[in-house]
Structures are given as C-alpha cells and as structure tokens.
Structure 1
Amino acid sequence: MANTTTPSGVQVQPVSGFIGAEIGGVDLSTPLPDAQVADLRAALLKWKVIFFRGQHIDHAAQVAFTARFGEVTYAHPHEDEPIPDFPQLLPIDRSRYEKRNGLRRASYENRWHTDVTAAINPPAGSILRAVNVPSFGGDTTWTNLVAAYEGLPAPLRALADGLKAEHRFGARARYPADSALAKRLAANPLVSIHPVVRVHPETGERALFVNPGFTSHLLDVSPSQSDQLLDLFFEQVTKPAYTTRFRWHNGDIAFWDNRATAHLAPQDLDHLDVARVLYRTTITGDVPVGPDGFRSQSVEGAFFGVAEPEALKQYKAQKPARETALV
C-alpha cells in the first residue's frame, strides 16, 4: 500500500483501501513516453480510478491522452449538440443540462451508475477533466465492483455468476414525455442484456456488473425476486468500504476503468446556484462476458464507438424542424 515510483517516473499514491490512487510525475500537456503509458495502465487496472492534480490541458490534449489507451468514442449516444471540432467531448455542464432538459440538477445521471451500460459494449474507460468547478461541494464518488463481488458470501457469488440483467437508459427514471431528453431516448433506444458478473478482459477479475442507473431487471426470475436481488446487489456495490470520494479543483483529471467501477455524481449542488463544467472522453469497450461464457446481447441499438448510430444522425438532422415546432 506504500507510495511507489515506477522506473518511468510515474508516482502512485493510493487514496483508500480498495480503490483510487493519485498520480504524480507526469505532464499530460505533452505526449507521454510509452513506458509511462504502460505504468498508468497498470495503476488503473490495480486501483480502478486514478487522479491527476493540476493538469491544465485543452480539448485536443485530452483527446490525445485518451487515445493512448484505446479508440476514443464520440461524445455520447444521446448527445445531439457536439462541441465544434471535438465530437469526442461530452460537456458535463449543469447550466447546459438544465437548459436543454428542463431538469434542475447537476449531472446527466444522478444515481450510482457505470457509463453507458445500455450499450452492448459499454466504454472501457472514461476520462473527466475539470475546467470550472465550485470552491466547495461537487465531489464525485467511485466504487470498486471487483471488491463488491469478492465481498459477497460464496453462495451469493455462485448465484450472481449465472444471472443476466437488462440495462437501458431511463431504467429507473421517468422523464416527461414531451421533454427533450425523453425524445432523444425514444429516437435512439439502447437496451442490452449483460451478465450480472463480468469477467474483466485484462485482469480476469470478476466484477458485480449492475448499477442503479441503468439496470432495469434480472432475467429468468420473477419481478419480486428481481427487485429483491437487485436491491441486495445495489447495496453491496455502494458500501462505503469499497468507495473513494474525490474533491475536484480546476485542472484535475479522473480516469476510471468503466469495466470495474460505478460512480456517483455530486449530490449536494442541485439547490446551489454555482457553475460546474467538466469534459468527458470515453474509450470504446468490448462486449462483456460472464463466468459461464455468456456474451452480452443487444436488444436495441448499435455499438458505441467512433461512428454514430444512424438513429442519432437522423435525430440531429431533424433538429431545426424540432426547434421550429417548439416555438
């Protein structure tokens, strides 16, 4: 658990017992040597989320850094207003969210969630860069889904190993039917069936791959049994012991393994009139596989990668007509 410095100069300082480490000795404004990239990947796989302080980089540098770890996706399956010249960047901007969706809250998903698990291939990783964050409040919390799985009693691990679950956007939320967000969800539905336990493609670790944000129900059990089992699993993945909480400052960056973590957006800002602007990039992921060899299946929607799905392209193309109709 002691702080370490790798031969490439990467400093790794763990911040909690199960998850999270702060990284020093790197400058993300310049291209990183291959050895440092390898050491950062190793730290990410071990600690699940790694943090960089005071890295005041621009959009291009964030995209370039993300690309060292895999193929960079477009911003989001339901993002229809990309940043000019940077379609890979998703703005996490509370004022923008409130303006576009008519909902007063600080983030797109305010429950525990793993990014875009409604897709058949959820992102492998996500990188979030703080540009304008409040001087107090606005912390993000992550949890280690591998530790959560390993913390279950053996009989429950065996049960979870063979279960499957449906994931979809809006699984446990209800948006007004005429809201912009509801219309985007309807125009580009994403629904997938994933194993409840995912085998990590790089480490071989097993992770409890369910989350309150996107997991709607378990398959092959009754609705009552599904609710009770999911409540048990959700309680397990959100136990404080498996979490770490990050206090943001401008210029800070968080990089998390989306295959082995869930995270919780700030819960203390909705009543405050403060700005909060961050930018997220994501790395194309693979199709999850369970301990029994079950591979995730798509119910609706396309792969989440570099190319936008046709439904999203059509929705963007229709934007002027939609706006005219709303006048």
Structure 2
Amino acid sequence: MSDNHIYNHIQVKPTSGFTGAEIEGIDLSAQLSDEVIGEIRQALLQWKVVFFRNQHLDHAGQIAFTSRFGEVTYAHPHEDEPPEGFEQILPIDRSRFEQRYGLRRTSYENQWHTDVTAAVNPPAGSILRAVNVPEVGGDTTWTNLVAAYEGLSAPLRELADNLKAEHRFGARYNIPPTSKFAERIGKNPLVSIHPVVRVHPETGERALFVNPGFTARILDVSRQESDLLLELFFNQITKPAYTTRFRWNNGDIAFWDNRATAHLAPQDLDHIDVERVLYRTTITGDIPVGPNGFKSEVVEGAVFNRSLPKAFQQSAENQADQAVAALV
C-alpha cells in the first residue's frame, strides 16, 4: 500500500504493508491543534491502527485526547468499577480481573475480536494506554478488515455483501457458566444483528465485519452453512498478511479504528507471573450499514454511549425498548 497522503504536522511510519503506523513528532499531553488532530484521523483511516511511543498521559489526559475524536463512552457494558472519578476508563489488568472473578482473562479472551460488537453501535474507535507492561511478552496484534474483504474473490464478496450475523457476548469465549463473570453478562445481555460487511461511514470502504469473539452465527442459513461460512471468514480476517503486531513499552498508546479492525490479546502470558496494566477508552460508534442498505438491529441490550448503563436495575426487555427509541 502506498502512502498518497501528505502530513505537514506529524511523521507517519507504516509498520506493515496493510496495517498499522507509528506516529512521531507530537506530544499527546499538549494542546493539539485541529490540524494535528485532522492528520491523526487521516492516518488512522488509512492505516486502521496508529501507535504513539513514550507518551505521558494520565486518566484525565487520555479522556481529553479521546474526546477530540468523538463522544467518549462509559468504560464497558460489563465493568461497572472503573477508576474512581473516571467512568470512561476500562482497566485492562489481569490481576484485577482474576481477583474479581476468579478467572484468568487470557484463558478465555484469547479470540480475535472487534470491541463490543454485541452492541448495536459498537465503538467507532478505541485508545489503549500502557502503564505497566512486562519486559517480555504481552504483544497485541491487529488485522485490517478492509484488506480482508478486498482479498476475497468477487463471488464471495458478493455473497458476503448480503449476509447478516448475530453478535453476542460470550458467543465463543470459554466462560464457565457458573462464574461471576457469566452472571454479570446474564444480567446485561447484549445481542445485535449486524451486516457481515459494513460500509465505513467516513471512507466508504467495505470491511468484513465478523470476529471470533462475538459473532455467533450467520442468519438465514443452516447451522452447518453458518459454521462453514464463519470458518472461511475468520480464516480470511486472521491471515498474517493483513496484520501488524505491536510490542508495548510503558507510556505507549495504540489508537485503532474499531469499524475496520479486529485485534488479538496476548497469547503468551498465562504461564508467566507478571503484571500487565493498560487503560482503554472508547468512542461512541454509529450503527453499521451494509452494502445492500441493511442497518444493524438490536435484539437485546442498550446502546453503548456516554451514559452509564441501567442494566443491573432494568430488564433486558426495557433496555431493548430504550435502545430502539434512542436510535430512531
């Protein structure tokens, strides 16, 4: 992929042929001009995930930077204990998760996924800040869903353009059904129907919008056909050619377009007793639309935006009613 864009305020260095670029020459803790923000957005749209090395942001600074690109959501549909005073911050902390739920996060969350696609409006983007990462291991990998779609043969692209899929939390994770985390998911079920191919609202590109973490089944086909189609699509989006792998250091930041990427959490830490602490913010997303005009539909759950969920007090039916009303 050639770089036809001109950047006057930042330096953009691609990390692979299809996916990822490091951005140099800026301090994210400074008051960035609209021109700089515009160039970061352009680099993000082109490379799908961008990286900033050796930054010095705290929780407030991360939220402020995220807000330059859209409305910042609350932390997560199933995490209601963010750092005090920062309801938008999701800690990615294996020890915290293990203490709270008695599960090793990397033992079940080892699937490629796009953030929160169980919601009818998955986040438009995610920003992850490294605070305490191990010296060895813990890399994250991203893949380019636009390149994956474009890599399909024409007949398969035509087929995918008209398919719909169900997305839900826990679709393919190995979560013990009696665990506290399974109980929490049960109290706030999120299920949505998305187009298998979504049209990017800013670039017009088509992305293969399925992922092993949340996509449960293809609609309007048999179970066997669904399984075979998903296997084909999952294999396509995880081809090494479309990926980039990022080696974290403390202070590093990754910013990805959640509408055009999937990512894979570390695969090499379960046997190592190390801490790994990062913090994530997400940007409120739009409702995906397919090439044939199909617009994602909510089955259960609320929209994912800046308002804290009332899922633990309200029934799933009431949530669905609220979600439909909010999207009209």
Matching residue's letter, 1:48 = K
Provide the TM-score with structure 2 as the length reference: 0.93
Q: Which residues of 2 match residues 55-204 of structure 1 at below 5 A?
A: 55-106=55-106, 109-204=109-204
Say whether 1:18 aligns with 2:18: yes
CA distance in 2, matches of 1:68, 1:2: 24
Match of 1:40 in 2: 40
Q: Which runs of 5+ in 1 are unaligned?
A: 316-327
Say whether 1:6 aligns with 2:34: no
CA distance in 2, matches of 1:47, 1:78: 30
CA distance in 1, matches of 2:89, 2:18: 29
CA distance in 1, matches of 2:59, 2:119: 25
SS of the residue aligned with 2:131?
A: strand
SS of the residue aligned with 2:46?
A: helix
CA distance in 2, matches of 1:81, 1:23: 32
SS of the residue aligned with 1:310?
A: coil
Match of 2:232 in 1: 232
CA distance in 1, matches of 2:4, 2:11: 7
CA distance in 2, matches of 1:5, 1:92: 35
Matching residue's letter, 1:244 = T
Deviation sequence 1:105-155 (CA, Å, 0-9, x none): 448732100000000000000000000000010000000000000000000
Q: Kindly state the Cα deviation for residue 82 of structure 1 after the two structures are TM-superposed.
A: 1.8
Q: Would you say how many aligned residue pairs link Structure 1 and Structure 2?
A: 314
CA contact (8 A) 1:80 1:312 kept: no
Bigger shift: 43-52 or 95-104?
95-104
Deviation sequence 1:65-122 (CA, Å, 0-9, x none): 0000000000000002121010000000010111112112448732100000000000
SS of the residue aligned with 2:311?
A: helix
CA contact (8 A) 2:114 2:258 kept: yes
SS of the residue aligned with 1:152?
A: coil
Q: Kindly state the Cα deviation for residue 312 of structure 1 after the two structures are TM-superposed.
A: 3.8
Identity percentage of aligned residues? 73
Match of 2:278 in 1: 278
CA distance in 1, matches of 2:285, 2:184: 23
Deviation sequence 1:174-203 (CA, Å, 0-9, x none): 422331101110000000000000000000
Q: Which runs of 5+ in 2 are unaligned?
A: 316-328
Q: Go from structure 1 to structure 2 and tell me whether the alpha carbon gap of 1:52 and 1:313 turns closer, same or farther (over 3 Å shift).
A: farther
Provide the TM-score with structure 1 as the length reference: 0.93
Matching residue's letter, 2:237 = V
RMSD across aligned C-alpha pairs, in angstroms? 1.6
CA distance in 1, matches of 2:294, 2:3: 38
SS of the residue aligned with 1:221?
A: coil
Say whether 1:254 aligns with 2:254: yes
Matching residue's letter, 1:194 = H
